[in-house]
Amino acid sequence: MTKPSDLGPPIKGKPHEPSDEDDHFYKCKICGQPVDMRDLRQVMWHEQPRHERLRPEVVTRS
C-alpha cells in the first residue's frame, strides 16, 4: 500500500478559495457596472444617487 511518505515531501495545499469571483460583485442599479464589494471605494461611489461608471483599474496578476 502506498504511504503518503512514498509520494515525496508534503506539498502544502492552498486554503480553498472561491473560484467564482462573481460572489464579490453586485450590479449597480444606477449605472449597471459590477461593483466589487470588497472595495469600499467602489461601493461608496456607487451609493451616490448620480454617478458615472468607474474606469476599470488594470489588475495585475502575478
Q: Which residues bind Zn ion (CB under 5 A)?
A: 28, 30-31, 46
| Residue closer to Zn ion (CB basis): 3 or 50 | 50
Rounded to an integer, what distance in angstroms lies between the CA atom of residue 42 and that of residue 46? 6
| Residue closer to Zn ion (CB basis): 21 or 53 | 53
What are the start-end ranges of the E strands in 1-62?
25-27, 34-36
Least distance between Zn ion and beta carbon 22 (Å): 17
Facing residues of 26 across strands? 35
Least distance between Zn ion and beta carbon 6 (Å): 55
Residue 2 cell numbers, joined: 502506498
**Residue, CB closest to Zn ion:** 28
